[in-house]
Amino acid sequence: MLVVMDHNATKEQIDTVVKIIEGRGLTARPIPGGQRVSIGILNNTGPVDTSLFAGLPGVKEAIAVTRPYKLVSREVKTEDTIVDVGGIKIGNGSLTILAGPCAIENEAQAFTIAEKVKASGAHIFRGGAFKPRTSPYSFQGLGEAGLEILSRVRDKFNMPVVTEAMDYETFELVEEHADIIQIGTRNMQNYTLLKRAGLSPKPILLKRGMAATVEEFLMAAEYILERGNNHVILCERGVRTFVDHSRNTLDLSAIPVIKKESHLPIIVDPSHAAGKREQVLPLSRAAVAAEADGLMVEVHHDPSRAMSDGAQSLYPEQFDVLCRHAAAVYDSFHL
Amino acid sequence: MLVVMDHNATKEQIDTVVKIIEGRGLTARPIPGGQRVSIGILNNTGPVDTSLFAGLPGVKEAIAVTRPYKLVSREVKTEDTIVDVGGIKIGNGSLTILAGPCAIENEAQAFTIAEKVKASGAHIFRGGAFKPRTSPYSFQGLGEAGLEILSRVRDKFNMPVVTEAMDYETFELVEEHADIIQIGTRNMQNYTLLKRAGLSPKPILLKRGMAATVEEFLMAAEYILERGNNHVILCERGVRTFVDHSRNTLDLSAIPVIKKESHLPIIVDPSHAAGKREQVLPLSRAAVAAEADGLMVEVHHDPSRAMSDGAQSLYPEQFDVLCRHAAAVYDSFHL
Amino acid sequence: MLVVMDHNATKEQIDTVVKIIEGRGLTARPIPGGQRVSIGILNNTGPVDTSLFAGLPGVKEAIAVTRPYKLVSREVKTEDTIVDVGGIKIGNGSLTILAGPCAIENEAQAFTIAEKVKASGAHIFRGGAFKPRTSPYSFQGLGEAGLEILSRVRDKFNMPVVTEAMDYETFELVEEHADIIQIGTRNMQNYTLLKRAGLSPKPILLKRGMAATVEEFLMAAEYILERGNNHVILCERGVRTFVDHSRNTLDLSAIPVIKKESHLPIIVDPSHAAGKREQVLPLSRAAVAAEADGLMVEVHHDPSRAMSDGAQSLYPEQFDVLCRHAAAVYDSFHL
Amino acid sequence: MLVVMDHNATKEQIDTVVKIIEGRGLTARPIPGGQRVSIGILNNTGPVDTSLFAGLPGVKEAIAVTRPYKLVSREVKTEDTIVDVGGIKIGNGSLTILAGPCAIENEAQAFTIAEKVKASGAHIFRGGAFKPRTSPYSFQGLGEAGLEILSRVRDKFNMPVVTEAMDYETFELVEEHADIIQIGTRNMQNYTLLKRAGLSPKPILLKRGMAATVEEFLMAAEYILERGNNHVILCERGVRTFVDHSRNTLDLSAIPVIKKESHLPIIVDPSHAAGKREQVLPLSRAAVAAEADGLMVEVHHDPSRAMSDGAQSLYPEQFDVLCRHAAAVYDSFHL
């Protein structure tokens, strides 16, 4: 950390800062500059809380230099993490497609969609059984019955399934049925849930919070790794901005940043970012072009009757085009 | 809802929309305009999901007209909700001050601060026992031991206490000790927690999510009321924007908007919005001037040794000024 | 427009709204709903100002239904606008590459870079002569001398050149030398400049404001078309958000939205969105994959000595890779 | 500036950075830390461009430590700047009220409103003659005729007048008639206009750009001071965020930050921030409570017929309440 002093900070104020640093067992190194003194902090093993200094008399600002994350950092582990889900590898340089409806509505719906997305090239089936909904009056998912349908989808179509766990209470139930356990956007900083996920033997798909910086996103993953589960797949799904023509704004520069900072794989969910069917295809191609490790896409055979998020669900024939385009874009700059 | 058609939408496309509306038991009323047809939806008892229409051929956009919330709405309950906490009334037109440290560190610290904030005029003591922290390596709170210290603060100083519940598992424990149970920013859409809070006999202090619209904020409160707990206090604490001179941007226009839309009381947390001590006093006065029902402020007698958020904690003598200013501003336009 | 009344609006309040509408020569059509009355406005030839109604007693909100733009709208002109710059066509379905340094520094620099970017496949040379800079102490560009160097680049390398006009005073000078005149982000709502551009015979490259909605962006273009210049190329360059790992957040969903709403071509500037060299390549590929009509990229042969924006300038060899990747991605889903 | 190196940066990479620094005549001071080397830059008289280093091999990031502004900085001038407008002093610790219609429509309208706002306590009359409008089809202001009406308002009511200059061409005309010249939000980074304002003998009211950081805002003011005009009044008017219940989000923490960083006075425009009449009163009180040096408020005697921004204009009787509340709040914590 660098503690920048006011240009007219007194010697006493500088000494106070030095004392606080040394009181924590760290080394303080004052750096006299042309206009003001700055004080570097050395020999810290982890990050130092900037708030220790930010409000002190004579201090202009405290600037963090070291990153706060460890286990997710590429400085700690150089090689890419590859998550293996029943033989399907995420993060090994190939492109993985996850697809299915927003919510599992019944077996017929799930089977119809699974058959179609598999035929188009999807590797993993997605579908919600426990649904976090903005309104208590909206459909909340089939719960355990939905999980059982997902298990039957896996058996019948030989596809791993991913579904969301919303809380500690039902985590074990989800864990029994899912091949990948999703932690949703609204729960990115639900630490009880993250800690539970850290104890799971199953891979975790962690979605970025709507207002999370990349640093906060990686710190959320750090909670999972810290408990012992290294199988974390990150998912960019758009952030909240003033833009009103899409539900959220897909932040594709997060992909190169995360790949540089961390060894974890990162996929993209264009459906929730867009909120509108017609933007899903171009955003999917763009995500692949930005080197996402995979795409997670909502598909429904009858979106106007979907029980949630119909407007962003692709028709199966649109998803078929998407798979072909995604593969073509991927190949174009990898060959 | 209003479904706005493309200017060149075909009659068939219009008929499809009408059929979908009527298939849901609602009334469709096409309104031919100069440039395009719009279709109003009547006789809906609750909100209709715009996504049913937003992606259909020929549809330009679907605009929600009815608000999605019910129980929190002033249209349902005209008079202000007043939350009574051991005789202290929040929402009755007076100004309530909640103050204390970010985290309970030990009994001596809690007693020292409680004594000072009470002397300055605080009505309710705040302090975290379970702390949601961005980093797994940061101090996570004293847990149950912290709750017990809070109980002793209440007994010794005769002040109600507010503290955060982070999850379903420890909710009951918090419920035993707290007079008001806080649900934090990061948990505003933790629906399992909201539903549990809805079953509690204790008042709930619900903080606005960092990227939540007022509508989403009220929908989160709706989850609590829907389960039967009407004692909800809303708390504005800043939203995430591009602004970098404060931790978040305090959204004071939310106060008149919420007071118009809802009967629930709303207080303001200037400490977390600012993230810096020096902004807390002006933001506190501003919140009172915008007619907040209360202020929740972080105070620490030795911020440079605080175990969390020291930079935004006021010194007790600063808090004393704050209480005097807040009361003066309140009186100035209420007399 | 739709004027939505409060659920308890009085008959008089409704009548007042109707009278205001009719007083403007329009048709008011009240639509009684289950919970409240809404009033549609018909027969308006242009948009009606929502602020006429938004603050009236009994009015809940006024919702614009008709778009405010005309000449830029695809409803007015169905076929794509193709801008022809010395035989190079932008908006005809091909991919146009514009490249060069942020600022023209001297002839040798310009010639060195022009030679390299042309060899890699750039169609148009970019370079600033008048530079809008955040600081008055930063290099402000060579001015007319820079324009003359640009003219020599065109002659020597047979490439059209694009450069920015910052104000009305120097517009004519820029017009003499440039093949495309750029209006920068900070000037997107400089109406004097837009009106002047509307009188120019040269194509205009209009960059999106950092905080502009797509609607405001199209309205800025409307100013240019309204004065008679139809040769407008739009440029997405990122919007300001809370995200701090890139200078701005590239909003790629703007591309499909603009292509649906407008007939104007749209290109992408990944360099200014990123602000960092290492993000430019993935964002460029992503922009092509989202169907941008072109890319505008900063290139410098010696970025550490560049007089502005060195950190985001590509080395010529990186630009060469970019051109190959962009072409490959483009081909992949167009063949 | 501090250049932070990668944890595995090579000695050569570090040497390259040192050489670049020294090549600019500055002093480089490498600071070996526990995990990585950082390099401080000393003896710079002005800010150094971070982009010189940000993209170099082995560099993790470049962090600006010195502020880029000079003349506006309180480090350069300690005492508050007081702007004197015909005897009315802005920035001397008192509260100045500027009020009037969004646009001057005709003499009768201007006189009617001026009479009322003066009676309520306004010190300065505001009204637009040249109006920057999002749409080319909206009323663009009366131009010179509007300026002449403003001059007559000054003469008749003995109030200084403030009005906007939109461009260099008409600046002189505005300068002749106005007592304070406003530079609007959309022109905050119109450098040609800022430089012209810097040559004016009249005070300048500079509004914050919708997406401007405080640093950019102060840099825009720096352009004016740098040319010799020290009479600059800053105006906070809300920033663009995801929040949709007000037109923009008023950023009141900007007031204490600007007062700490700069000696210039800062007033608040609650009308444009709100965009809705009903939020103007609470936001006005809040701005005074946050220690704004003044308020600029839109008032119209017949808002439903106003030619622009009717929805946010107060009725004269509402403005009268506002003046009384503002004075009471001001007094409450200044006495």
Lowest mean pLDDT among A56-70, A292-306, B70-84: A56-70
Decide if C66 touches B, using CB distance below 8 A: yes
User: Which CATH entry fits the domain spanning C2-63: 1.10.10.10, 3.30.70.1140, 3.40.50.1970, 3.40.50.2300?
Assistant: 3.30.70.1140
pLDDT at D47: 63
Q: Which two tokens stand for residue A234?
A: 């990150």
D122-159 b/e (C-beta count within 10 Å ≥ 16 → b): bbbbbbbbbbbbbbbbbbbbbeeebbbbbebbbeebeb
d(CA B275, CA B81) in angstroms, rounded, equals 30
* Contact between chains at D167 and C189 (C-beta distance less than 8 A): no
For residue C58, give both structure tokens.
């009994």
Instruction: Give residue B45's pLDDT band: very low, low, confident or very high (50, 70, 90).
Output: low
Q: What does pLDDT average to over chain B?
A: 92
Which residue among C4, C8, C65 places its CB closest to the CB of B4? C65
HSE toward the beta carbon, residue D221, CA cutoff 13 A: 32
CA distances from C95 to A284, B206, C290, C293 (A): 19, 51, 12, 5
**Rg of chain B on CA atoms, in Å:** 23
The pLDDT of residue B46 is 63
Closest to C39 measured CA to CA, from D71, B65, B53: B65
Residues of chain C contacting residue A260, judged by C-beta atoms under 8 Å apart = 278
- Which residues on chain A are in Cβ contact (under 8 Å) with C278? 256, 260
* pLDDT score for C320: 98
- Residue span(s) of chain D under CATH 3.20.20.70 come to 83-334
Q: Which CATH number fits domain C83-334: 3.90.1150.10, 3.30.1330.200, 3.30.1360.120, 3.20.20.70?
A: 3.20.20.70
What local confidence, expressed as pLDDT, does residue C198 receive?
A: 97
Compute the average pLDDT of residues A72-85: 94
The reply to whether D78 touches chain C by the CB within 8 Å rule is no
Amino acid identity of B11? K
Whole-angstrom distance, CA of residue B128 vs CA of residue D8: 40
Q: What is the mean pLDDT of residues A244-255?
A: 97
Q: Please list every residue in chain A whose beta carbon sits closer than 8 Å to the beta carbon of residue C242.
A: 211, 213, 239, 241
Residue B118's CB is within 10 A of a number of other CB atoms, namely 19
Burial classification of residue C122, based on how many CB atoms lie within 10 Å of its CB (0-12 exposed, 13-18 middle, 19 or more buried): buried
What value does the mean pLDDT take over residues D258-278? 96
Q: What is the pLDDT of residues B228-285, one digit of tens each?
A: 999 999 999 999 999 999 999 999 999 999 999 999 999 999 999 999 999 999 999 9
For the record, the structure tokens of A52 come out as 């220790």
The interface pTM score, or ipTM, of the predicted complex is 0.91
CB of C297 closer than 8 Å to CB of C331: no
Looking at every residue in chain A, the average pLDDT score rounds to: 92
Confidence check: pLDDT of C21 > 80? yes
Q: How far apart are CA C255 and CA A282, in angstroms?
A: 9
Q: Are strands B88-90 and B37-42 parallel, antiparallel or unpaired?
A: unpaired
Residue among A142, A139, A180, A182 at smallest CA distance from A161: A180
Tell me the torsion sign for CA atoms C42, C43, C46, C50.
negative
Q: How confident is the model at residue A319 (pLDDT cuts 50, 70, 90)?
A: very high
Question: What pLDDT band is residue A68 in, cutting at 50, 70 and 90?
Answer: confident
Q: For residues D303 and D226, give the distance between their C-alpha atoms in angstroms, rounded to a whole number.
A: 40
- CB atoms D167 and C190 under 8 Å: yes
**H or E segment to which residue D85 belongs:** strand D83-85
Cα–Cα distance, C209 to C189 (Å, whole number): 8
Share of chain C above pLDDT 70, in %: 97
Q: How far apart are CA B201 and CA B231, in angstroms?
A: 8
Q: Confirm or reject contact between D35 and chain A (CB < 8 A).
A: yes
* Region of poorest pLDDT, from A68-77, A141-150, C216-225, D60-69: D60-69
Q: Does D76 touch chain A (CB under 8 A)?
A: no
Q: What is the pTM of this model?
A: 0.92
Mutate to test the interface with A, among B17, B137, B227 (most CBs of A within 10 A): B137
**Side-chain half-sphere CA neighbours of A10 within 13 A:** 5
Q: Per-residue pLDDT for D105 more than 90? A: yes
**Of B139, B143, B138, B152, the residue nearest B107 (C-alpha):** B152
Q: pLDDT, tens digit, for every residue of D30-61? A: 877 667 788 888 766 666 777 778 778 888 88
Q: Given pLDDT bands bounded at 50, 70 and 90, which one contains residue C45?
A: low
Q: How far is CA A280 from the centre of its chain?
A: 19
- Where b means 16+ CB within 10 Å and e means fewer, C199-222 reads ebebbbbbbbbbbbbbbbbbbbbb
pLDDT of residue B7: 82
Contacts of B260 in chain D (CB under 8 A): 278
- Choosing among D48, D59, D61, D66, which should be mutated to test the A contact, i.e. which has the most A CBs within 10 A? D66
**pLDDT reading at B115 higher than 90:** yes
What average pLDDT does range D261-284 have in this prediction? 97
- The answer for residues whose C-beta is within 8 angstroms of residue C319's C-beta and 6 or more apart is C99, C116, C117, C120, C122, C297, C299
pLDDT of residue C63: 77
> Which residues in chain C belong to E strands, given as ranges?
2-5, 27-32, 37-42, 59-63, 83-85, 88-90, 96-100, 124-126, 161-164, 180-183, 204-207, 232-236, 266-268, 294-298
CA distance D221 to chain C (A): 10
Average pLDDT score over residue span D247-252: 98
C286 touches chain A (CB under 8 A): yes
DSSP structure class, residue A247: S
* pLDDT range class, residue D67, cuts 50, 70, 90: confident
Higher pLDDT, A230 or B21: A230
Closest CA to B41 of A309, C43, C2: C2
Length of chain C: 335
Q: Which of B166, B198, B162, B147 is nearest to B294 (CA)?
A: B162
The four Cα atoms A310, A311, A315, A318 give a dihedral, to 10 degrees, of -150
Q: Which residues of chain C make contact with B65, given a CB cutoff of 8 A?
A: 2, 4, 33, 36, 38, 63
Residue of C47, C273, C209, A147 whose CA lies nearest to D138: C47
From-to residues of CATH 3.30.70.1140 in chain A: 2-63
Structure confidence by residue, pLDDT tens digits, C107-148:
999 999 999 999 999 999 999 999 988 888 888 899 999 999
pLDDT at position B54, please? Answer: 75
